[in-house]
Structure 1
Amino acid sequence: MTQYVLVAGAWLGAWAWDEVVGELRGAGHGAHALTLAGLAERRDEPRDAAIDQETHVQDIVGAVERLDLRDVVLVGHSYSGIPVGQAAQRVGDRLARVVFVDSDVPADGESFVSGNPAVEASIAENGGFWAPPTAEDYAQQGLTDEQITRIVTGGTPHPGGSLTGRARLDGPLGDLPATYIKCLLDWPELSPAVAELLKSDNWRLVEMNTGHWPMFSQPHELARILLDA
């Protein structure tokens, strides 16, 4: 039985995966959606600079080890591709595959905000947190009004320390068995870093004709891709 560990991107918690988790469990697999420190139901533990990039990596590694999971597929969406990619290198032979869902990928010594002054400005203006988007920011992403309301209502400010902290890789990311899911409606072109990683024989590309939040806009299709992975 494959064990899926799913981590949503910035502002979101485990609740974002509800529909996908149901599909995976219905297919006979384990599915464990995580909420990272400082977000959703964990937003008060603690709300300060103690939460950094390593905190989120350890959230993921710790869950895999605590639950004694094997044959693990780590799934990282958006921002969480950065801590998920690092965690994938640290769980050893527990890992079956890592899936990056329209996500950033870690680069050794770099942070999420590297070269992104707008995010840094938001963190500075909002007491150390990246402010959640408004409903208008979710337009043209294949989402219904109801889905947008759900995301906006459930989203919480994202702890800035996890965005400014630098990734630490233990080896080439291209050595991992990986699937990259590109959501074409958000932006059809791959980042240079992802395009380079896809040159590896260990990586494969899957495209989805939807926006950046497929766990809401196309949860059944996303679950099928994860099952195929």
Structure 2
Amino acid sequence: MTTFVLVPGMCHGGWCFEQLTEQLRAHGHNVYPLTLTGLGERSHLLRTGVNLDIHVQDVAGVLVSENIRNAVLVGHSYGGMVITGAADRNPDRVDSLVYLDAVVPGHGDSCWSLVSDQERQWYLDVVETGDAVRPLPFFDPRATPHPLASVLQPLQLATDLTHIRRNVYVYAAGWKGQSPFTPLYQRLREDPAWTTHALDAEHNLMRDAPHDLLKILREIGEPS
């Protein structure tokens, strides 16, 4: 039995992992689908001042309060920032990291610095208060504005993350147009420290390739 902590991308909540959560639990795993502060059912919390540190603490809080050890942290898109920070701050509680078509930051990187100019243009389309990024028109109706500060704040790392047993990248190869993650995937697939997968799906892998994703995660949960 493995414990998975699932972290969504921008504007999304734990609801985006609903099918994956059910499937993993049906196979006997513990699963915690998170909604980050200021989003989804937590959107009533003040967005101003909600930054990357707070989102990292959201994950750390679950690891500590639930006394989770050997967690597999799974981050989609922006969630790659969050799981990296959480693994750095909780080295005794995190076993593996899984990036689902996500950013993979190093020390001093922000989501803003790692994405394409097209993505940055989206970030600048903020709500009237100027504190949050609007959901894109094709997002699920449950999507909510995303705290802007969280994508601008650089990630500060205190460790080199060598304690992580497995680093896994799952690339969505079915983007309509150029994927902003292609150069990253091409680099990581040549790195022996990483295991990479390419799925014929669009960016929302949880929706478009649920069975392939389930298989990958179940394999990660097995002892090496």
After TM superposition, the score normalised by the length of structure 1 is 0.85
Is the 2:131–2:147 contact (alpha carbons within 8 Å) kept by the matching residues of 1?
A: yes
Compute the displacement of 1:112 (Å): 1.1
Cα offsets for 1:88-136 (capped at 9, x unmatched):
122213222110000011122121112644144223766221111112x
Instruction: Report matched runs for 1:66-81 at 5 Å.
Output: 66-81=65-80
Flag the 1:119–1:190 CA change in 2: closer, same or farther, 3 A.
Answer: closer
Provide the rounded CA distance (Å) in 2 between the counterparts of 1:218 and 1:60: 25
Cα RMSD (Å): 2.1
Provide the rounded CA distance (Å) in 1 between the counterparts of 2:35 and 2:185: 25
Is the 1:76–1:100 contact (alpha carbons within 8 Å) kept by the matching residues of 2?
A: yes
2:99 counterpart letter in structure 1: F
How many residue pairs end up in the alignment?
Answer: 213
Which range moves more in the overlay, 193-202 or 108-117?
Answer: 193-202
Compute the displacement of 1:12 (Å): 0.4
> Identity over aligned residues, as a percent?
31
Instruction: Report matched runs for 1:140-155 at 5 Å.
Output: 151-155=139-143
Which range moves more in the overlay, 125-134 or 161-170?
Answer: 125-134
Structure 1: runs of 5 or more not aligned:
136-150
Counterpart check, 1:8 vs 2:8: yes
More helix by share: 1
Provide the rounded CA distance (Å) in 2 between the counterparts of 1:223 and 1:204: 16
Cα offsets for 1:116-160 (capped at 9, x unmatched):
44144223766221111112xxxxxxxxxxxxxxx4211101110
2:174 counterpart letter in structure 1: L
Compute the displacement of 1:169 (Å): 1.6
Provide the rounded CA distance (Å) in 2 between the counterparts of 1:7 and 1:70: 17
Flag the 1:194–1:86 CA change in 2: closer, same or farther, 3 A.
Answer: farther
Which range moves more in the overlay, 174-183 or 185-194?
Answer: 185-194
Is the 2:10–2:146 contact (alpha carbons within 8 Å) kept by the matching residues of 1?
A: yes
Counterpart check, 1:85 vs 2:84: yes
Provide the rounded CA distance (Å) in 1 between the counterparts of 2:129 and 2:207: 27
Provide the rounded CA distance (Å) in 2 between the counterparts of 1:41 and 1:161: 19
2:216 counterpart letter in structure 1: I
Cα offsets for 1:30-76 (capped at 9, x unmatched):
0110000110000111121x101101111111111111112210000
Provide the rounded CA distance (Å) in 1 between the counterparts of 2:92 and 2:167: 14
Flag the 1:19–1:46 CA change in 2: closer, same or farther, 3 A.
Answer: same
Provide the rounded CA distance (Å) in 1 between the counterparts of 2:85 and 2:188: 15
Cα offsets for 1:143-196 (capped at 9, x unmatched):
xxxxxxxx4211101110101111112233576321000010025685445544
Which range moves more in the overlay, 160-169 or 107-116?
Answer: 107-116
Provide the rounded CA distance (Å) in 2 between the counterparts of 1:70 and 1:175: 13
Counterpart check, 1:167 vs 2:155: yes
Counterpart check, 1:54 vs 2:53: yes
After TM superposition, the score normalised by the length of structure 2 is 0.86
Is the 2:127–2:145 contact (alpha carbons within 8 Å) kept by the matching residues of 1?
A: no
One of 178, 181, 190 as aligned partner of 2:170: 181
Is the 2:12–2:144 contact (alpha carbons within 8 Å) kept by the matching residues of 1?
A: yes
In structure 2, the partner of 1:145 is none
2:172 counterpart letter in structure 1: C
2:73 counterpart letter in structure 1: L
